[in-house]
Structure 1
Amino acid sequence: MEDLPEALVTEIIKKITRTSDLNSLSLVSKQLYKTEGNQRGAIRVGSGLCTATEALTSLCARFPNLRKVEIDYSGWIPGHGNQLDNKGLFVFSSQCSSLIDLTLSFCSYIDDSGLGCLAYCKTLVSLRLISAPQITSIGLFSVAVGCTGLSALHLIDCEKIGSVEWLEYLGMDGSLYELVVKNCEGINHHDLLKFGSGWMKLQKFEFEKKRKRFDRLPGDKVYDPLYDAHSMDIYDFCCESLKDLRLAHIETWPEIGLRVVLGKCKALENLCLQYVRALNDNDIIALSRSCSNLKSISLWLNLQRYYIDDGYCETRMSFTDNCLYALAQNCRMLQTVDLKFEGCFSGWPSEIGFTQKGFLVLIQSCPIRVLVLNTANFLDDEGMKALSSSPHLETLELIFCPAVTDAGIRFIAQNLCLRNLTLRVCHGVTDVGVAELGREHMLESLVIEYCGEISLQAAQGVAKSVHYSSDYSVEKKGYKWYQILPIQDAATKEGHVGGEEAQDTASGSGSKSPRCTSLSPGRRGRGQHHGRELAPTLTRTNYADWAMLMRVQLQVHGLWVIWISGPKLVRVLAAKDNTKAAWDTIKTLRVGAERVRDAKAQTRRRDYDRLAFKDDETVEMKV
């Protein structure tokens, strides 16, 4: 091995990609050890890293050409040893002369002084700070001043970063091409407008606020559906280079903030809006007029309140068919559409805002290749028939689409371009519909999840690759469990609930029957009903998963969901901090609090005691 030419050894090492294989290879001979060390361009270290200065210096000497370093302490506990501190980061920054990409994850021992050491890395191009609890705006400003070549910056869960002097400096420098800010409580979306001229070169931008407990509920604020944030050029900056834009969990009223970016993008190719409040059709219309190159759009929408007339308001999603028509007319290169509607009920299709007519205009006007629909209550079998004639559709994913039945699957099976199909929680589709898929042509992949009327036997052989799951198992997610008691005999005789009659209690959906099951807390661990694992608890952060799990489990097992009369009461209960408060609210609304009932009873007794005939009053008059 020692006699092999160095060029040949180098080529052999380049063919090996797994880190474990490279580590084993370096132990074979001194030549391989040296050559592999020189070739290694990236390492990822964490709890096993020795933080002594000598060890870190030796590590940098072992890999002198490191260009990418990731230091990850996720899952770290004090028993794992010391973390990399400011002194250790100084060793890395001073010894790794070729370092261009650095990621610091869960590094709780590094503060502003340590981050300031990165000013020695004149070649640093990309910096990612993930859950850095000790770093503030001061340390970030040091990086902005010292790392003049910085072009990509990611800030995720950095709670102490507040003031944005660093952002203003980077904006004046104009070197950033990629900026991602997620869950940084000290940074508001309107602060990002201080980036100024830096928007001109920015190609990728993401901003996400930390999701709050009830931010997906409609809330009390009412927005103006006609407000146009783009009619006047309030902010003097341009986003001519921006290609990827994602905004999540922000409210764009009364502070407009990043809402104006939608009307300033000219080269945008990928747009993702997730639960952005106060938007309306004018925002998408303005975007469509300037973004003819738009290729992908993802809209995750929840219920909000909008004025209509005479002081009244309606509860619906942010957009209507008008924005679909604008996209169909102006964005003729659109290839990927992802629509998710959260909290809507199949009995009230007007809550979504979109209709099947407007949706089909978009599909028929653009070369849509990938289509994802989540809780799209407007889509039925006629819509599936229209999709079957779409000449470009290759991937279709349907989630919670109750109006799609076997007839719709029969239509889509006729689309010879379709290669990948996913059905999740589509209880209107049975084995009969799935059998139609394999008759025209074989799919590349078929995913069937939590569709209670489809069996594994029916799915087999329909596609080259089949993924099938019948139970919504959450064992791996570490949820606590509840135990659902058997249905009362009277309810059992009526049969089980399916499709539209089932409801998601947390989202405010109504049911067509007042019968319900009893939901009682079980012991820690798994709750079981006839040997089956059932629903998890609702926590502060798992609403989306919890809602889907509850709905699927109750439908699969044929159980009536907990009945709460109407969505208005649901939203009242959702604002309560605990179950005791929610229960007291129900008691007060339904039968009155104990004091109220006692007071009413006393009033009735006093009225009875005072009951007497007047001189001129007869029995008939008293009755």
Structure 2
Amino acid sequence: MRGQDWINTLLPDEIIVEIFRRLDSKSSRDACSLVCNRWLRLERLTRAAIRIGASASPDLFVHLLAARFSNVTTVHVDERLSVTIPTHFGRRRSRDNSSLKLHYGSASDQSGFDSLCLSDSGLSALAKGFPKLQKLRLIWCSNVTSEGLSSLATECTSLKSLDLQCLSVWFEAVCLVYSNDVGCYVGDQGLAAVGQYCKHLEDLNLRFCEGLTDKGLVELALGVGKSLKSLGVAACAKITDVSMEAVGSHCRSLDTLSLDSEYIHNRGLLAVIKGCPQLKVLKLQCVNLSDDALKVVGSSCLSLELLALYSFQRFTDKGLCAIGNGCKKLKNLILSDCYFISEKGLEAIAAGCKELTHLEVNGCHNIGSTGLESVGKSCQHLTELALLYTQKIGDVGLLEVGQGCKFLQALHLVDCSSIGDEAMRGIAIGCRNLKKLHIRRCYEIGNKGIVAVGEHCKLLADLSIRFCDRVGDEALIAVAEGCSLHNLNVSGCHQIGDAGMIAIARGCPQLCYLDVSVLQNLGDMVMAELGEHCPLLKEIVLSHCRQITDVGLAHLVKSCTMLESCHMVYCSGITSSGVATVVSSCPNIKKVLVEKWKVSQRTKRRAGSIISYLCVDL
């Protein structure tokens, strides 16, 4: 019957709740919640996760959220994020929506600064309001102490994941304005309480927790040793080998360990390796570790699948050879700023770890083409390769990868001065499954290499060619004819002009992201073509494009109604009229980056919350 509400009349709450649970996006759930009060109430019951940014009254904010969303199991509190909230958070809406701005002042302003951060009271409210809590992240919550963490532990006994990242370098600098007593206030008592009450804890991440010592982590290991599976420790100066020995003794199920510390030595790592036979993920940035530790990793961690070594200066090829000889299940290897590793170490990895799928070599200046040749010959399952700042690796190494690694899907090249068109052509011909290609400042790569990619890599969807001076329109025309790109970044490629970008617009209707910044030869015709052929475009970066004007912007936004982000600083042809056109024509716009003087008072009133200024007083 017309006008009859059959859904609310016939369907019980349980059915509607189940329908809400099956919706695949937050926007869809939000839309459904606006139908009526009943649907709003039921939709709130399905919310499992909430994200809280900085708010003017965070403790009150937590109270209000807890009263509305009773089944939440995941909470992410990040005091770095500025959010817009109504002045009166309730059924009545206020026109005065203001977002928090961190301010700087004298030490006398400290109390005001503290009130902007989540406190122990807010954490206690969070614990009582979300008793089913399983995952909690606290980022920059510098007012939370052991008292608050203890109260949370007693209430949320089902907690499985705890991430404490209480301080950053930037935040430390800010706090110096207010007090000489800087640091995270969560100490041993709070962590011990987590170990005592949260017996299901599986994942613990501690970063910049300067108040913690070995005592707290040892007590936690004693309490949750049977359940803990993942541990991360970074920039916690008072956590030493003693804590690692406790982890090795009690956390037998640990499979993921991440350490970034100057105070952990071979002794601590060896204790974990020997005590945790199920270790699968190992990430290390510890300057005091040596080859002796890596030799034991190779002989003991037979289930290791991911190994990341950052800024190592005390181990050589001997350690890497041990990994290659023992860790036959290794799939992901990251070597970053390991200055004493040569191609001999990479050859050992290739020979022993034939299941390798992901390899990143970053700033290892002694690794040359021979090491990469070995990878190409032996690691046939490689799907992602990243070569960053590797000056000694040339065309020969990458050609071997093209011949042997047929399943390669992603390739990243940054500042590889010895890699040119020949290598790119070899990759294009051999790796037909390539989906992502990111190149930056590789000046020997030009049109020939990228043309080959366009001709042979039909699955390519993500292409980034930044500051490659030899790439021009010819390359983009070939890519447009052979690939259906979703993401394209050609920032700083000065030879690219209207012809290449028009071809992209006409050949890639699925384009969602585009960065054409610093292209001096690009004009309004390209904007018109993009507007006509790329209706799915969501993000565009036009900064430093001097020939693009308000006319081009008008053509762009006429059909690109899904546009969410537009960067257009230092575009001399764009005025306040063009900015107003973007804001008024794009209903989904979320961010506009522009000079302050190009924003009229009317535009500020209409969309002040989405406008960002790179150069305020330009």
TM-score greater than 0.5 by the shorter chain: yes
Match of 2:301 in 1: 239
Matched, 1:67 2:73: yes
The letter for the 2-side match of 1:378 is S
Does residue 294 of structure 1 match 2:350? Answer: no
Shift of 1:391: 3.9
Give, in whole Å, the separation in 2 of the partners of 1:440 and 1:168.
Answer: 60
SS at match of 2:430: coil
- Tell me which residue corresponds to 1:323: 371
- Give 1:10's aligned residue: 17
Question: 1:214-233 to 2 correspondence within 5 Å?
Answer: 233=295
Kept in 2, the 8 Å contact 1:425–1:450? The answer is yes
Residue from 152, 160, 177 that aligns with 1:125: 160
Q: Does 1:384 align with 2:424?
A: yes
Q: Which residue of 2 aligns with 1:452?
A: 494
Query: How do 1:526-545 and structure 2 match up within 5 A?
Result: none
CA contact (8 A) 2:476 2:503 kept: no
CA drift at 1:80: 8.7
What does residue 450 of structure 2 align with? 409
Partner of 1:357: 396
Report deviation, 1:447.
3.1
Q: 1:154 aligned to 2:205?
A: yes
Task: Note closer, same or farther for the CA distance 1:361–1:337 as it changes in structure 2 (3 Å cut).
Answer: same
Going from structure 1 to structure 2, the CA distance change for 1:353 and 1:99 (only over 3 Å counts) comes to same
Structure 1 counterpart of 2:148, from 114, 134, 148: 114
Q: Are residues 116 and 252 of structure 1, via their aligned partners in 2, closer, same or farther at CA, if it must alter by over 3 Å?
A: farther
The change in CA–CA distance for 1:408 and 1:21 in structure 2 (over 3 A counts) is: closer
Indicate the residue corresponding to 1:215 in structure 2: none
Give the % identical residues: 24
Which of 104-113 and 23-32 deviates more?
A: 23-32
Matched AA of 2:356: L
How far did 1:21 drift? 7.0
What are the equivalent positions in structure 2 for 1:87-236 lying under 5 Å apart?
87-120=121-154, 121-132=156-167, 133-136=184-187, 139-161=190-212, 163=214, 166=217, 170=221, 173=225, 175-184=227-236, 187-188=261-262, 190=265, 191-197=268-274, 199-207=276-284, 233-234=295-296
Indicate how the Cα distance of structure 1 residues 329 and 84 shifts in structure 2: closer, same or farther if over 3 A, else same.
same
- Over 3 Å counting, the alpha-carbon distance change for 1:404 and 1:26 in structure 2 is closer
Between stretches 383-392 and 197-206, larger displacement belongs to 197-206
Aligned-pair distance for 1:360?
1.9
Distance in structure 2 (CA, Å) of the matches to 1:110 and 1:49? 16
Instruction: Kindly report which structure 2 residues correspond to 1:381-530, keeping only aligned pairs within 5 A, or say none.
Output: 381-394=421-434, 395-417=436-458, 419-420=460-461, 421-438=463-480, 446-462=488-504, 463-464=507-508, 465=511, 467-471=514-518
> 1:175 touches 1:201 (CA, 8 Å); kept in 2?
no
Shift of 1:67: 0.8
Q: Could you tell me how far 1:433 is from its partner in structure 2?
A: 3.9
Choose the corresponding residue for 2:120, options 86, 107, 110: 86
2:335 to 273, 297, 315: 273
Going from structure 1 to structure 2, the CA distance change for 1:380 and 1:46 (only over 3 Å counts) comes to closer
* C-alpha distance in 2 between matches for 1:241 and 1:412: 37
Structure 1 residue 103: Cα displacement: 0.7
SS in 1 for 2:151: helix
Question: 58-67 vs 358-367, which deviates more?
Answer: 58-67
Deviation at 1:454, TM superposition (A): 1.3
**Alignment partner of 1:88: what SS?**
helix
Aligned partner letter, 1:123: S
Letter in 1 for 2:372: L
CA distance in 2 between partners of 1:146 and 1:276 (Å)? 41
Q: Distance in 1 between matches of 2:55 and 2:282?
A: 34
Going from structure 1 to structure 2, the CA distance change for 1:31 and 1:384 (only over 3 Å counts) comes to: closer
Secondary structure, in 3 states, of the residue corresponding to 1:414?
helix
Secondary structure in 1 aligned to 2:231? strand
Q: Quick one: distance in 2 between partners of 1:253 and 1:63?
A: 51
Q: Please name the residue that 1:334 is paired with.
A: 382
Secondary structure of 2:503's partner? Answer: coil
Against the structure 1 CA distance between its residues 408 and 359, is the aligned structure 2 distance closer, same or farther, given a 3 Å change threshold?
Answer: closer
Helix, strand or coil for the counterpart of 1:90? helix
Task: Give the deviation of 1:301 after TM superposition.
Answer: 1.0
The one-letter code sitting in structure 1 at the alignment partner of 2:76 is E
8 Å Cα contact 1:388/1:412 also seen in 2: yes
After TM superposition, give the deviation of residue 197 of structure 1 in Å.
4.9
- 1:431 maps to amino acid: D
Which residue does the alignment assign to 2:552? none
Q: Name the amino acid aligned to 2:340.
A: A
Task: Give the conservation status (yes or no) of the 8 Å contact 2:291–2:315.
Answer: no
Once residues 196 and 299 of structure 2 are traced to their aligned partners in structure 1, the CA distance between those partners, rounded to angstroms, is 23
The 1:259–1:209 alpha-carbon spacing in structure 2 relative to 1, beyond 3 Å, is: farther
Task: Give the match's secondary structure for 1:200.
Answer: coil
- Structure 1 counterpart of 2:467, which letter? V
TM-score, structure 2 as length reference: 0.60
Q: What amino acid sits opposite 1:320 in the alignment?
A: G
Hey, what's the Cα distance between the residues in 1 that align with 2:402 and 2:58?
Answer: 57
Shift of 1:339: 0.7
Q: Which residue number corresponds to residue 562 of structure 1? A: none
How many angstroms apart in 1 are the aligned matches of 2:327 and 2:442? 33
- Which digits, 9 at most, give the CA deviation of each residue in 1:370-424, with x for residues without a partner? 1111111221222233223214342322211111233333443432445243311
Counterpart contact for 1:102–1:127, Cα < 8 Å: yes
- Equivalent residue letter for 1:130: Q
AA of the residue aligned to 1:430: G
Counterpart Cα distance in 2 of 1:29 and 1:440? 49
How big is the shift at 1:237?
7.5
Residues 218-254 of structure 1, C-alpha deviations (whole Å, 9 max, x = no match): xxxxxxxxx9658x94569833444344343454459
- Relative distance call for 1:433 and 1:288 in structure 2 (3 A) is closer
Q: Which amino acid is 1:195 matched to?
A: V
1:75-101 Cα offsets, whole Å, 9 max, x none, are: 564369453322432343355332111
> For the Cα contact (< 8 Å) 2:62–2:126, is it kept in 1?
yes
1:31 equivalent to 2:38? Answer yes
2:411 counterpart of 1:371: yes
Structure 2 CA distance for partners of 1:237 and 1:33, relative to 1, 3 Å: farther
Aligned-pair Cα RMSD in Å? 4.3
**Secondary structure of the residue that 1:401 maps to in structure 2?**
coil
Checking the alignment, whether the CA contact within 8 Å between 2:321 and 2:348 is kept in structure 1 is: no
- Alpha-carbon distance change, 29 to 383 in structure 1, aligned in 2, over 3 angstroms: closer
**Which whole-Å CA distance do the structure 2 matches of 1:166 and 1:376 have between them?**
43
Secondary structure of residue in 2 paired with 1:389:
helix
- Give distance in 2, aligned partners of 1:268 and 1:274: 17
Name the larger-Rg structure: 1
Q: Normalising to structure 1: TM-score of the pair?
A: 0.59
Q: For 2:483 and 2:273, how far apart are their aligned partners in 1?
A: 54
**1:178, 1:202 within 8 Å by CA — same for their partners in 2?**
no
Alpha carbons of structure 1 residues 94 and 9: separation in structure 2 relative to 1, 3 Å: same
Is the contact made by 1:197 and 1:237 (CA closer than 8 Å) also made in structure 2? Answer: no
Q: For 1:427-452, what per-residue CA distance to the aligned partner results, in whole angstroms no more than 9, with x for missing partners?
A: 12233444444456665654322111
